[in-house]
Amino acid sequence: MFTVYVLLVTSVLCQPTSGQLTTDPVELAVEPGEDAEFTCIWEDGDNTTKLEILSWHRIHINSTHGKEEAQEGETKLKNSTTVKIEKGTISIQNVSFADAGRYTCRDDSGAEPAEVELIVYNMPSYGTEGVIVVCLVAGLLLVLGVGLALQAKRAKRSRLQREKQGRLGTFHTLPDEEQS
């Protein structure tokens, strides 16, 4: 009876539990030179556990004309100078464009692997564009200021001419009585 009991306990302990592997984050976007980090988590109902015994893999995709085809396979990742795997977390240091892609974490329970995606992008530099915009705005303000100053000068000249004509007109006209 002892053997049967041990077999029952062993079979219960070896049964995969109902749960799933998940990752945090699922997707991460970084610039070249930054670090990326993903953590694999076992979720079972309301409980989450950070897994310590698992493996991380890099998914290789055959890409033709921007369309993904069948998976060519996966490579199990190991610690290196830029990749650190410790207690369920993978850290990729000094990310490059070659690191972009999909990764999976797997455990020994037979659960479906969890997938993550690392996006590497090059943030455009707005330094030159910013200087150009500032110069354009300054130029427009200068043109607007000069235009307003010229308009004010014309208005003043026109007012002075009307006043001058008004004064000259009073000196050159004779009263009605004197004209007859």
- Contact indicator for 78, 59 with CB cutoff of 8 Å: no
40-59 pLDDT, tens per residue?
A: 988 887 777 776 678 899 99
Q: Which of 31-34's residues contact partners 24+ apart within 8 Å by CB, and which partners?
A: 31/95, 31/120, 31/121, 31/122, 31/123, 32/95, 32/96, 32/97, 32/120, 32/122, 33/94, 33/95, 34/94, 34/95
Q: Which one is predicted more confidently, 9 or 108?
A: 108
In this predicted model, what pLDDT tens digit does every residue of 165-180 receive, in sequence order? 777 665 555 556 555 5
State mean pLDDT over 80-103: 93
Residue spans of the domains in the chain: they are 18-120, 127-169
List the CATH code of the domain at 18-120.
Answer: 2.60.40.10
